[in-house]
Structure 1
Amino acid sequence: MEIDEPNGPKRKGPTPITLDWDQLLSREDGGDDRPPELEVIRSNKKPKESSENIYQSEDLEMVVKSDRELKESIARFKRNLKTLAHKLRDGGERLRVSLKRHEDELERRLQRQLMNKVENECAEMIQVSDSDDGVSRGQKQGDRKSLSSPSFTKLFDKKLEDPEDLKDSRTVNAFEEELFYIKPCNGRRGRPNNQVAAKGRSRMALSSSSEEPSRSSKSGLVDCEKQTTSNDDKPTSSFSVPNSPQGPPSSNLRPRTRRYYNVVEEDPPVQTTAQFLEELDPCVKDATLYYPSRDDPDAVEVNHADMGCLAPEAYLSSTIMNFYIRYLQQPTSSSESTTCNYHFFSTYFYNKLEKLKYEEDSFRKFRKWWKDVSIFEKAYILLPVHESAHWSLVIICFPTKEDEQGPILLHLDSLGLHNSKLICDNIKRFLKEEWSYLRKSGTRLDLPISDEIWENLESKMEHKRVTVPQQKNEYDCGLFVLFYMERFIKQAPERIKKKDLSMFRRQWFQPQEASNLRPAICNLLVEEFRKVKEKESTPLSQLLD
């Protein structure tokens, strides 16, 4: 298109677009200016929880783990899958997902290490040390070509241009001196550049080599095995060439190489149970401990063999678990008024509860486990659970009357392997049966809960799986249960309230604190055995006095 200008020639330009605004903005609805209404419809579909959010905390823990810890976690997951997967509600699906994520992280790290190694080797192969680089020494640009050219080329050109050498018909002799230095030495490396001999000395060496072959071969062996040391204190091998008139020779004619050593960190051997028992204090051997005393009807009996479960990487036995539970029950100056408001069941109680047949006679006999203790008047009931080669803890809490709430069952699991709902359902049934038994017997109780809650206790109980610190191995679950008890006794209020449940979290304590309970229990038992030995060695007359 051509555009006419008023005072000038025509010029070419873009064609303007003509828009019919009346037609474009015409409305068929009678010119109603109201915008269309937007109708928002709620979807009944619940958004799926992202797997990234589910495993976000696990990823954070996995990233900070070392390669050794990552391999230990993978081995632990594989063992748990082999022994516990068929007993879990999800068939071990969660364990498989965690195992896959850990294996992928380990594979990613190995690939990254391999790539770094390849890159380093390539960089070393192309790196050549050139001490006479004209650019690095600040020389002129015009000299770069001659300085950067190979030393052999310079020497060769010089020999061809030297008139003295041209007169000699034996052209091989032109390089007689140089061939001495680069002559093969029985398959070994050439003479280092710091061992270059003078001209006269080299000819002497050549002549003497025919007279004393044994001596010359020996000296050649020593010279060839010597190494030079570069600025970075790493041994390198090289051979020397004579100086060229054009400039100093290159110190190395081939790329430097580094030697890589694969250092395998071996874990120290784990002390076996037999070695652990052998190294125990002699006072433990041939002695039996009744804790807290021989006169206690519920005393825990411990002997030398029972101490074996306190060896490194060993699983805690019921005997040691019950010993420490009884230890936590002992009144002290700080906890005397606290522990009386607790009731502790032994480790054998839950296994009996699972097999209980809820018949009138059977339950009446079963009540001997708490020996007429009014468990509903307690503030807390601590119940350890042992199932599928794993320990966990259930705490039954009776809130205050002000909360108007029934008993709360809290499940604490350091690996998340136990079925919380199944375990809490078994305990709820036991509490309902005890509640029904007390109502039929007409026993009057000083209950902390309101009458309305008490009358409808069967429907007022609830359970909750709380978030707690997790163990870093597969053998410390018993220690974590004992540490849960100990920490809860120190921090729990007189009666729990809903707001107090915030005390349970993954940062409640450091996992190493629970693992450190193993040597602490061992030292405590050794001290108790010493007391037993002292009593046995004390004459009876002194004990009577």
Structure 2
Amino acid sequence: MGRTRRSGRTTRRPGGGAVTIDLESEGCTDQPSKHRTCWKHIQALMLARRTRISKQQAEEIESFKLTSPCFLQTIPCRERSKKRFKRNNAVSKLKKELDSVSFNCYMENMWKSFSEDKKMSFAYLDSLWFTMYTEASTGAKVLEWIKRKHIFSKKYVLVPIVRWCHWSLLIFCHFGESLLSENNSPCMLLLDSLEMANPKRLEPDIRKFVWDIYESEGRPEHKHMISQIPLLVPKVPQQRNGVECGSYVLYFINLFVQDAPENFRMEGYPYFMKVNWFSPEGLEHFCEKLESLESDTL
């Protein structure tokens, strides 16, 4: 018969020839990657591969052990900085696909960080409201909730949208102004970090959403005029992978609140919202800061 295995041990076949080594008896239960060119590394690697070797190879390893000790437990390792680990973990967390619960949590903490003067000009809607509006069973409820936001008294209204597993940002500008105004005429901005996904596909739902908001508020504007409100899609920085869109929307909001003009006029469009609006390094720094805001509230 060939070799047999008892309780994790191997035995050598009598008469020489091919043999196997009892690696576990040598204490080689560590992962091979933990060792650095030592005899235990060699044996642990063979254990992982269930390697059968010749008698001569076994004797060579036995000889190698005499002169090559394992240094695994002797090399000092620097303790990993908790702050650095926390920061790296924070960035990786925001680089993952954000669900609505996580997004709203980050949004609330970021909103608290803005000055009261800034917040006076802004309102924001829950990230699920737009999607809920498109569903027949919850559309009316969403319109009632929006009423409580008094959006027609604000210069800007931030509307995060998550559709088809992708985040984008809709911004209502000067909705409280007359549609015939020459200086502060209402308009809409749609910021999308994945332009190749065709942000304009949202336009039919956005148009209906806006009309229903005006109607539910009892506004006097005619439907035809409301349908003429410009929907602008500036060429903003684009995401580098398929899951960063939620982080980009949060960063869009952060920078827009900080830099939005006192009065948004078409002749100044797109203002600061250009393809080089911010750098990847700026986004990284923002993610770290945002995560620190979340940890401070725990």
Q: TM > 0.5 between the two?
A: yes
Q: Is the 8 A contact 1:310 1:522 kept in 2?
A: no
Q: CA 1:515–1:477 in structure 2 vs 1: closer, same or farther (change >3 Å)?
A: farther
In the other structure, the counterpart of 2:7 is: none
Q: Is the 8 A contact 1:387 1:418 kept in 2?
A: no
Secondary structure at the counterpart of residue 297 of structure 2:
helix
1:231-285 CA distance string (max 9 Å, x none): xxxxxxxxxxxxxxxxxxxxxxxxxxxxxxxxxxxxxxxxxxxxx9xx659xxxx
Give 1:328's match in structure 2, choosing from 81, 93, 110: 110
Q: What is the TM-score of this pair, normalised by structure 2?
A: 0.61
Which residue of 344, 351, 362 corresponds with 2:131?
A: 351
Q: d(CA) in 2 for partners of 1:415 and 1:331?
A: 27
Give the drift of 1:492: 0.6
Pairwise mapping of residues 166-177 of structure 1 onto structure 2 (< 5 A)? none
1:527 match:
296
SS in 2 for 1:486: helix
Matches within 5 A, 1:526-545: 526-529=295-298
Amino acid at match of 1:325: M
Asked if the contact 2:123–2:151 (Cα under 8 Å) also holds between the matched residues in 1, the reply is yes
Q: How does 1:446-465 map to 2 (within 5 A)?
A: 457-465=225-233
Q: Displacement of 1:349 after TM fit?
A: 1.2
CA contact (8 A) 1:406 1:462 kept: no
Contact 1:322 1:346 in 2 (8 A): yes
Are 1:321 and 1:478, in contact at CA under 8 Å, matched by a contact in 2? yes
- Name stretches of at least 5 consecutive residues in structure 1 with no aligned partner: 1-275, 282-306, 444-450, 530-545
Q: Distance in 1 between matches of 2:244 and 2:96?
A: 8
C-alpha displacement at 1:479, in angstroms? 1.1
Residue aligning to 1:516: 285
1:493 correspondence with 2:261: yes
Which residues of 2 match residues 14-413 of structure 1 at below 5 A?
310-311=92-93, 313-330=95-112, 332=114, 335-356=115-136, 364-398=140-174, 402-403=181-182, 406-413=185-192
Report SS of the residue matched to 1:369. Answer: helix
Measure the CA separation in 2 of the matches of 1:370 and 1:499. Answer: 30
Report SS of the residue matched to 2:257: helix
Give the one of 407, 425, 442 matched to 2:204: 425
Assess, with a 3 A threshold, how the Cα gap between structure 1 residues 409 and 497 changes in structure 2: closer, same or farther. same
* Structure with larger RCO (C-alpha < 8 A, sep 6+): 2
The 1:387–1:438 alpha-carbon spacing in structure 2 relative to 1, beyond 3 Å, is closer
User: What percentage of residue pairs aligned between the two structures are identical?
Assistant: 23
Deviation at 1:473, TM superposition (A): 2.5
Aligned-partner Cα distance in 2 for 1:365–1:514 = 35
Contact 1:479 1:517 in 2 (8 A): no
RMSD: 3.1
TM score, norm. by length of structure 1: 0.35
Give how far 1:398 is off.
1.7
What is the alpha-carbon distance in structure 1 between the residues aligned to residue 202 and residue 117 of structure 2? 30
**Gap change, CA 1:512 and 1:429, over 3 Å in 2:** same
From the superposition, tell whether residues 405 and 508 of structure 1 become closer, same or farther in structure 2 (CA, over 3 Å): same
Q: CA deviation at 1:455?
A: 7.5
State the partner residue of 2:244. Answer: 476
Structure 1 runs of 4+ aligned residues shifted over 6 Å read: none
Provide structure 2 residue ranges, at least 5 long, that are not aligned to the other structure. 1-81
Task: Tell me by how many angstroms 1:526 deviates.
Answer: 1.8
> In the TM superposition, what whole-angstrom CA distance separates every residue of 1:202-240 from its partner, at most 9, and x where no partner exists?
xxxxxxxxxxxxxxxxxxxxxxxxxxxxxxxxxxxxxxx
1:403-442 CA-to-partner distances (Å, cap 9, x unmatched) read 2675312111112144433323212212212222333xxx
Task: Tell me how far 1:497 sits from its aligned partner.
Answer: 0.9
Report the CA distance shift for 1:312/1:487 in structure 2 as closer, same or farther (over 3 A): closer
- Is 2:283 aligned against 1:507? no
Q: Which amino acid is 1:340 matched to?
A: M
Q: Call closer, same or farther: CA 1:512–1:309 in 2, change over 3 Å.
A: closer
Displacement of 1:356 after TM fit?
Answer: 3.5
Hey, what's the Cα distance between the residues in 2 that align with 1:499 and 1:373? 29
Cα distance in 2 for partners of 1:485, 1:389 equals 19
Whole-Å separation in 1 of the counterparts to 2:98 and 2:274: 25
Q: Deviations over 1:61-80 (max 9, x none)?
A: xxxxxxxxxxxxxxxxxxxx
Q: Look up the equivalent residue of 1:461 and give its one-letter code.
A: I
- The change in CA–CA distance for 1:381 and 1:410 in structure 2 (over 3 A counts) is same
The SS at the match of 2:250 is helix
The CA distance in 2 between the partners of 1:461 and 1:500, in whole Å, is: 17
Q: CA deviation at 1:382?
A: 0.8
**One-letter amino acid of the structure 1 residue matched with residue 236 of structure 2:** V
For the structure 1 residues 374 and 431, does the alpha-carbon distance in structure 2 shift closer, same or farther, using more than 3 Å as the test?
same
Whether contact under 8 Å (1:310, 1:519) holds in the other structure is no
Q: Which residue of 1 aligns with 2:61?
A: none
